[in-house]
Structure 1
C-alpha cells in the first residue's frame, strides 16, 4: 500500500509543535523499512567494490525512509532564516504584541548590528577619526551621524544604558508599589539567572569555534586574515589550532574560567582568544552585580532618598571614571524616571491629554531635537577629537582627571541623552518598534556572538573573492570592500538567526527551568 509523503509545507506548519528530533510518524518500523528497502545483486566474492556497496549505500537507505526524510527536511527548514519561514512570519516580522519598552529591544538590535559593521570596517579603514581630522579624513561617511553606522564604542554605550534600564525596571516598579515579597523573588531570580543568560551562549559559541578549528575550517582563510594587502588597518588573526583536541579544550576551559571576570576593573580583562569581540560580556556581568547591590541597598528608602542615594553613587562612580557602571546607573535612573511620570501606563497622564495641538507639536519637536543632540554626542570620534572640527571645544571640556578613554566621555553622555529623549518621542519609538528593527532586536545577542566566527570562516572567503574581482588599488579596494559586504552581512544575519533559535532562545528557557529546580518552593 502506498503511503502519502508529507509535503514541505506540512512539515513547515507542524514544526512549531515538533522538535528537530521529535518523531510523530504513525508508521511502524516495518512499514518504514519496506518503503525504503533496497536490493543489491550479490556480487562475486572477489569483487571488493561490490562488497562495500551496501555499506556506502547505507546513508541513502536511511534517508530513503520516511522517518529520516522528515528529520532531514526539518533540518533544512531550520536552516532557512526565520523571516523566510511562512510558519513564523508573524513572529519575526512585527511582534504579535509590542510592550511599552519594546523600542529598547529595537535600539539594542541596531546597536548590535553597528558593532558588527565596526568590526567589518576597521580592518580595512581608519574609522576612529572624525571628518576633517588631519589631511585625509574627508570621506562623507565620516561626517557626524553617518559615522554612527560603524561606530562600535558608541553602540556599546547604548548597550550598557539599556541593560541598566532593563535590569532595574521591574524591581523598581515593585519597590514603588510596595510588593516586597515579589521584589525579593524578582531580584533573586535576576541575580541567579544573569550568569547563565550572559555566559552560556558564548560558551557554546566558543565551543563551536573549537569544533571549526579541529575540522580545519579556519585554515582556508588563515593566510588571508593576516595579509596586509587586504587588511590595511587592524588585523584579527585566527585563534590558534593546537596539536590535540585535548589541549584545545583545556585551553578553552582555562580561558572561560578567566572569562567570568568580576575581580578586576581592567578594561581588557576577560578576553578570550576564541572570539576577541566578547570583552564586553564580563563587564556586563560585573556591572549587573553592582547594579543589583545598589537596587537592594536602596530598596526600602523613600523615593526621594532613594534617588538621592543613587545619585550619590552615580557621582562617586563618575569621579572614579567608571564609565561602564556609570551607564548602568544612568539606565536605572531613567527607568525610575519613566515610572514616576507613568510613561508606560495604558492611559496617558491627565496633563498629556489636556495639551493643545500646538503644544504637543512643540513638545514633540523638542524631544526629536534632543534625540539628534544625543546622536551627535554619540558620534564623538574615538581618536584625535582635539583636532577634529566640531569636537575641539567639547574635547577640551573633558576633565583632566578623567581616567577612562576620552571618547567614552561624550559617547556615554550621548547614549543617556538619546535614550532619555526617545522615551518621550513617539516618532523614534515608532521607528524602533518597526518590524525589521524589532527583528534585529530579537537576534541582537546572536549577532554579537556570531559575527566573529561567521566572518573568519565564511566572510573572509567572500572578501578574498571580492578583492580578486575588483582589485586592491585606490577605489578598486573600496569597491571590493562594499562588494564583500553585500555577501558578508547576509551571512552574519543568517548565522545569527540560526544561533538565536538553536541556542539563545533555549538558553533563556533553560535558565528559567534550572532556577525552578533550585529554588525553595513557597
Structure 2
C-alpha cells in the first residue's frame, strides 16, 4: 500500500528528451510535480475517511448514512460531496485499490517503454518476493498484539461482543494462529463479508496481495511486447468493465490503476485529446471527471440497505443500474469503483488538486496511513470508547457503568457529524492515533520493508538482475 514499491531512479536522458515519447506533457504533470508525492496525500485523506466512519457510528447510531432527502433525512453530514468525510470508508477502499494498481505498475511500464525489459522483469521478480512481507507482516504483528492485550491487566481492552476473549492467553494465541492461518491464506475468496476475528479492517490485505500479483503478471505480459500500449489499454479496459459487471470490483480497481499508469507513462489520453481538443477543453473534461468521480464516491451506503441509495434524490436511477451480481451488502461497490477510477485519473491531471494533496499534513497522513489503518480500531476499543463516555456519551447498549462515565460531561449539541461530543472525541483520538501510527511506522512498518529488501539480497536476485543487465548491455 505504499508508493515506493517499484520506483528505481530514472536513467539519464539526453537534453530535450521527452519521457512521454515527446508527446505533449499531460496537464498537471510538469517537471516540478512529476513525482507521485500527491498520491501520498490522496492515500492519507482516504485513511482519514476510514477513521472517521469507524468513529462516528456510535455517536449518531449511523443516521448520517442515510441519503440527503431519503425518508425525511436531511442531515448536513449526508450532503453530496460532504458525506464522503463521514461515510467514506467504502470509497476509501476503492481508492486504495486503484492507487495500488497504478503505483505498482507505473515503474515496470516505464522500464518497458524505455526498452529495459530485463530490468522490468527483474524488478517484478523482486517485488513478488517483497510484497507478501510488506503486506502481511505488519497486520499479523498488530493483530497478535491485540490478541495479547485482550488479557492485559486492568481490562485495558473492554469486553467486546466480538471477538470473545478466551479463557487464558495460551488459548487466545492458539486461536489467533488458527484464524490467521485460515484468513490470510491467499488461495481462497476474500471480501468485506469475511472478517478476521482480531481485526475487521484487514479484510483488504489478502485482496491487496492478490491484486498486486495480478498487476505484476499483467506487467510481465506487457513486457513481452505481445501487445502495443494502446492495444493493452483496450484489452485491460474490456477486462476491467467485464469484471465490474460480474461483481469482481476489487480486481477491476487494480486493473483500472494499471490502465491509468499506462495512459500516464505513454501519454495516450493526452496525445489523443490534443488532436481534437484545445487545452481548455481538456481541462474542462478533467474537471468533469473529478466532479463525477467525487459524486459517485459519495453514494449513500449502508450494508444490507440499498434503499438508502435507491430512495435518495439523484440516486434512484444510478442504483437501479447496479448489476445484480452485487449483493445487498455490496451494492455500493459498483459506483464507488467507477468513482475511484475517475477521481484518481483527475488527480493525475489537475494541478490545483495535486497542490492540495501535496500539503504537509496530507502527505504525513499518507506516510503513516498503513499503520493508521491497522491500529485505529484497537485504539478505539482501548481508548476511544472511554473518551466518549467521559464526555457523557454512554450508549444504551454499553456494558456496565464505569468510573470514567460523565467525568467531563459535555452537552451533545449540533447535527450528526458536527455534534460536540463527536468533535471533542475526534480532537483527542485523532492525534493519539497518529502518534501510535507514527511510532509503529518507524518500528514495525519500515523494518518490514527493509526485511523484504534483505531477503531479496540474500536470495541473490539483485546480483542476478545486475549480471543479466550487464550481459545485455555488453
TM band (smaller chain): 0.7 to 0.9
> 1:119: how far off?
0.5
Question: Measured at CA, do residues 100 and 149 of structure 1 come closer, stay the same or move farther in structure 2, by a change above 3 Å?
Answer: same
Which residue number in structure 2 is paired with residue 33 of structure 1?
none
The C-alpha deviation readout for 1:67-120, integer Å capped at 9, x for no partner, is xxxxxxxxxxxxxxxxxxxxxxxxxxxxxx976111111101110111011101
> 1:311: how far off?
2.9
Which residue number in structure 2 is paired with residue 109 of structure 1?
44
Q: Does 1:146 align with 2:77?
A: no
> 1:342: how far off?
8.2
Question: Measured at CA, do residues 434 and 253 of structure 1 come closer, stay the same or move farther in structure 2, by a change above 3 Å?
Answer: same
Q: Does 1:159 align with 2:100?
A: no
Aligned equivalents of 1:99, 1:458: Cα separation in 2 = 41
Gaps of 5+ in 1: 1-96, 226-236
TM-score when scaled to structure 2?
A: 0.78
Aligned equivalents of 1:262, 1:396: Cα separation in 2 = 33
Aligned equivalents of 1:221, 1:246: Cα separation in 2 = 17
Aligned equivalents of 1:472, 1:395: Cα separation in 2 = 38
3-state SS in 2 of match to 1:144: coil
Higher relative contact order (CA 8 A, sep 6+): 2
Aligned equivalents of 1:117, 1:269: Cα separation in 2 = 21
> 1:374: how far off?
1.1
- The partner residue of 1:285 within 177, 199, 209 is 209
Which residue number in structure 2 is paired with residue 490 of structure 1?
431
> 1:362: how far off?
5.6
1:43-442 equivalences under 5 Å are: 100-124=35-59, 125-126=61-62, 127-135=64-72, 137-150=73-86, 151-216=88-153, 219-220=155-156, 222=158, 237=161, 239-268=163-192, 271-300=195-224, 301-303=226-228, 304-341=230-267, 360=279, 363-382=282-301, 383-384=306-307, 385-402=309-326, 405-442=330-367
Structure of greater Rg: 1
3-state SS in 1 of match to 2:74: coil
Aligned equivalents of 1:275, 1:400: Cα separation in 2 = 29
Which residue number in structure 1 is paired with residue 399 of structure 2?
none
> 1:363: how far off?
4.2
Aligned equivalents of 1:369, 1:307: Cα separation in 2 = 22
Question: Measured at CA, do residues 400 and 221 of structure 1 come closer, stay the same or move farther in structure 2, by a change above 3 Å?
Answer: closer
Q: Is the 8 A contact 2:49 2:85 kept in 1?
A: yes
3-state SS in 2 of match to 1:284: helix
Q: Is the 8 A contact 1:443 1:500 kept in 2?
A: yes
Q: Is the 8 A contact 1:459 1:491 kept in 2?
A: no
Superposed CA RMSD: 2.8
> 1:213: how far off?
2.0
Gaps of 5+ in 2: 1-31, 393-405, 465-474
Question: Measured at CA, do residues 268 and 377 of structure 1 come closer, stay the same or move farther in structure 2, by a change above 3 Å?
Answer: closer
TM-score when scaled to structure 1?
A: 0.71
Aligned equivalents of 2:219, 2:100: Cα separation in 1 = 14
Q: Is the 8 A contact 1:193 1:515 kept in 2?
A: yes
> 1:293: how far off?
2.4
3-state SS in 2 of match to 1:424: coil
Q: Is the 8 A contact 1:258 1:270 kept in 2?
A: no
Aligned equivalents of 1:363, 1:293: Cα separation in 2 = 33
Aligned equivalents of 1:296, 1:516: Cα separation in 2 = 21
Q: Is the 8 A contact 1:298 1:309 kept in 2?
A: no
Question: Measured at CA, do residues 210 and 399 of structure 1 come closer, stay the same or move farther in structure 2, by a change above 3 Å?
Answer: closer
